[in-house]
Chains A and B, each alone.
Chain A
Amino acid sequence: MRQGTTLRKEIKRQIEPHQGEAVKVLSTVLSVILRLLIFISFFAFLLLGGDMVPFWAMVNTLQLLIHLPLMNVEIPGFAALFLKGLLDVTRFEFVPLDGLVNRLTGYRPDADIEGGLNAVFE
């Protein structure tokens, strides 16, 4: 690179490594608990014939809360990381099916939307 070259690129959100690790652990633990709760309570409700309103209320509320980072706002990195960890559960993505299909078909979804959906969401 020549001396005096000006680089113009947006610096993405930065997280301190120890903070990122702690948030990742918290998010993973909560995600596992949520998965277990969803699985166990769904089948328990089917067996026991109980009222499923609290079950769907929890899923619906978490769905909206966890999808909020899709908006074009500068959420602190650790908060975005935490919510991202729970995203698969509220999307009912219990098996990483998309990755498998993309590998089989050779399709790269990232290539379709250059630079992500918006400046802060990729």
Chain B
Amino acid sequence: MIPNLGLIWIAFLILCAATVLAGVKDLLTLLKYDFKAPFLRRQTKWYSFMSNVWTRFMLEVFLEMTICILINFTAMGGSASFQRSSSACSVILFIVLGLFLLFVLSLLAYKWYTTDPGVPEGEPASSHKTLFLGLNTKHQARSLMYPVWFLTRRLIFSICVVAGGARPVGQVMTVLVCSLLMWCLLLWCRPYDTYDYQALQLFNEAMILLACIHMLCFTGFVADMSTNQSLGFTLILLVIVTFFVNSLVLIHSLWVAANRMCAKRGLISVANSNIN
């Protein structure tokens, strides 16, 4: 058990158990396949499913896991049995996170060197389809730059938060530069396959950038307390606006999905389903 990780640790253990079960089931299926075929072509249904679940899980909990593990590393060496076991768990999770980052990086390197940037590609392998969720799959090497920077940025953020406490300006500036780099990447690589998602991500990044500028003001850069108080209110407003805009897009997306489902089942006519 790792302090502060809570449900994420439980979910991690459940996923490990599910992977073992899926692995046993797939192993039996795999025996029927032709072993001369390349490994990637011998993927089975459960292998693909678990691979996608793991990928999404790691992407979403990466920030929380790295922060908790790094905090735990700073408190490592306690004598209590609970501390010893949590330190061991932290090391295991650290290896898992490192392997995941290595996997995404190696996938990027593989795509970068094996595909021609001028030729559109087909669908990505089903085992890591979730890594390309919403991304442009015709130019996978370019699109993969986004998840790579997504993870690297979270790692940098965690290191800054845990180890950079002595230099608050440095902490904020690092996060600010990471946010600016993400903006550059979104504009340069255009990783998303639709304009709407691209715009949504740019908006979200702008909000993070604005929040970082607020943080810079809180480092003592703005001496006036009343200005600081006002900046506190604008920070709250900024979070509410981000939440509100994202909720609207989310609800719209749900509406489109519901319409599509109804049209598929013949409950409404295709003309009324708002499907583009």
A residues with a Cβ closer than 8 A to B are: 23, 26, 30, 34, 37, 41, 44-45, 48-68, 70-76, 78-79, 82-83, 86, 91-98, 101-102, 105, 107, 109, 112-113, 117-119
Pairwise interchain contact A82-B246, C-beta atoms closer than 8 A: no
| Cα–Cα, bound, A73→B176 (Å) | 14
Pairwise interchain contact A54-B246, C-beta atoms closer than 8 A: yes
Known: A51-B256, A79-B236. 4 other contacts (CB 8 A): A37-B250, A68-B175, A95-B6, A95-B7
Interface size on B, residues (CB 8 A): 76
**Given known A54-B200, A56-B133, contact A76–B75 (CB-CB < 8 A):** no
Closest Cβ neighbor of A38 among chain B residues:
B250
Closest Cβ neighbor of B201 among chain A residues:
A57
B residues with a Cβ closer than 8 A to A are: 1, 3-8, 10-11, 56, 59-61, 63-64, 67, 71, 74-75, 78, 80, 82-83, 133-134, 150, 154, 157, 160-162, 164-166, 168, 171-172, 175, 192, 197, 200-201, 204, 207-208, 211-212, 215, 218-220, 228-229, 231-233, 235-236, 238-240, 242-243, 246-247, 249-254, 256-258, 260-261
Q: Within the complex, which residue of A23, A65, A73, A113 is in contact with B74, where a contact is CB–CB below 8 Å? A: A113
Q: Is the interface of B mostly helix, strand, loop or mixed?
A: helix
B175: chain A residues at CB < 8 Å are 68, 71
Pairwise interchain contact A61-B208, C-beta atoms closer than 8 A: yes
